Amino acid sequence: MVSSSATPTGRYRWRICGLLLAATTINYIDRQVLGVLAPELQKTFAWSEIQYGYIVTCFQAAYAIGLVSAGAVIDRLGTRLGYALAIAVWSLAAMSHALVGSVAGFAMARFALGLGEAGNFPAALKTVAEWFPRRERAFATGIFNSGSNIGAIVAPLTVPIIAITWGWQAAFLATGVLSAIWLVTWLATYRPPEQHPKLGAAELALIRSDPPEPTEKVPWSQLLRYRQTWAFLLGKFMTDPIWWFFLFWLPKYLHSEYGLSLLGLGAPLVAIYVLADIGSIAGGWAAGRFIKMGWTVNRARKTAMLICALCVVPIVFVSHVQNVWVAVLLIGLATAGHQGWSANIFTLPSDMFPRRTVASVVGIGGFGGAVGGMLIATFTGFLLETTGSYVPVFLMAATAYLLALGLIQLLAPKLEPAQM
């Protein structure tokens, strides 16, 4: 996973990337517990599809609010303290699910979880911008973003066993241990590159090989004046909801359409998210490879994004598939496309904005994605309650990425840096 350029200059930056990978993995284990347990919890508490949709919407609403504020807070506090604060909040919120038993209680716990988890990607992407030169950022982003798939793999493998053995409450409590270990490790080892005692001069020179940038703060409201911000925001608004749908409804879809039990969900979900993991790393690698071939950043990023968008299109046929493993292949290809897309769209802020504003821009874009997630959660709940059909959602997924890429091309045709 380490770039060949890291060999003569040092590799410590990839250890930092490993910490980001671990945090993102824990982040997705925490949020995925509800999705994995949804078929059983819906039976236990007699939730309707609409009520489940509202619970998911509460998470998305808090995630949207948190992303707007998290980026600015992390830009102000710095990645070390900002990241630590975020994981402390989401760890406590995840464990609080074990103490509730009503729709309102789960909605409140999900709201708190969304506020905390909103800090992960702004903090991680700001860390990548601080620790990696521009040509390595998509690959580093693809590596840590693969943690979302690892978390989605670990959850269906472990959560059913924990829930059946010790009860569903234990599944929510278990994630707090992982969060505490990461938090202690992060505070003990992380420093900015210029202050890190284990970072060599040659590697620091590589990290800072891009042209110098100003350091004054820019309020996020000012960032909304730039077309580049809107390109990122609208791209996230149109495509993030598809990933949220996979996370929170895929176990329910496999249960309702193919009759899979809680333990039976494990193998199909693992296969889907292994493919997603491959897509995450491959999408970032492809863009970096194109750049090394002499392509412009603009051409490399958008070509990689186009390939990923085309990988999602076949999911439109999944509703007509009778065999569960053919459905798994189609869904897995779509999740791979999404994660490859994410590795590149997450890199756009660092392509177009100075490092001091990256977390804020990511937060703004994430807000758009979370608002889209709110809409698809409520829409899916009402859709399933009234029709029981997933077809409209899969049709939306098949077209969303190509439409989003068209908007990005319209607003940022050359990925030119914003003139701050």
- Please report which confidence band the pLDDT of residue 16 belongs to, taking 50, 70 and 90 as the band edges: very high
CB of 149 within 8 A of CB of 252?
no
* Length of the chain in terms of residues written: 420
For 18, the token pair is 């490993």
CATH number at 11-411:
1.20.1250.20
pLDDT of residue 410: 97
Which comes out higher in pLDDT, residue 67 or 20?
20
Taking only the tens place, the pLDDT of each residue in 25-41 is 999 898 889 988 988 88
Q: Among all chains, which residue has been given the structure tokens 């990461």?
A: 182
Question: In the predicted model, what is the mean pLDDT of residues 400-411?
Answer: 97
pLDDT of residue 8: 56
**In whole angstroms, what is the distance from residue 153 CA to residue 271 CA?**
8
Taking only the tens place, the pLDDT of each residue in 220-277 is 778 999 999 999 999 999 999 999 999 889 988 998 899 888 888 889 998 998 898 8
Question: In the predicted model, what is the mean pLDDT of residues 388-397?
Answer: 94
- Please report which confidence band the pLDDT of residue 4 belongs to, taking 50, 70 and 90 as the band edges: very low
- Please report which confidence band the pLDDT of residue 1 belongs to, taking 50, 70 and 90 as the band edges: very low
CB of 225 within 8 A of CB of 114?
no
- Please report which confidence band the pLDDT of residue 406 belongs to, taking 50, 70 and 90 as the band edges: very high
Is pLDDT at 69 greater than 90 in this prediction? no
Helices (H), 190-265: 201-207, 220-223, 227-258
Q: Is 378 helix (H, G, I), strand (E, B) or coil?
A: helix
pLDDT of residue 40: 87
Best CA proximity match to 244, nearest among 370, 332, 144, 341: 370
Its pTM stands at 0.77
- Delimit the domains of the chain by residue range: 11-411
Q: Among all chains, which residue has been given the structure tokens 């290809």?
A: 333
Q: How would you class 78 by CB atoms within 10 Å of its CB: exposed for 0-12, middle for 13-18, buried for 19 or more? A: middle
CB of 111 within 8 A of CB of 312?
no
Taking only the tens place, the pLDDT of each residue in 132-157 is 888 888 788 878 878 877 887 888 88
**In whole angstroms, what is the distance from residue 113 CA to residue 97 CA?**
9
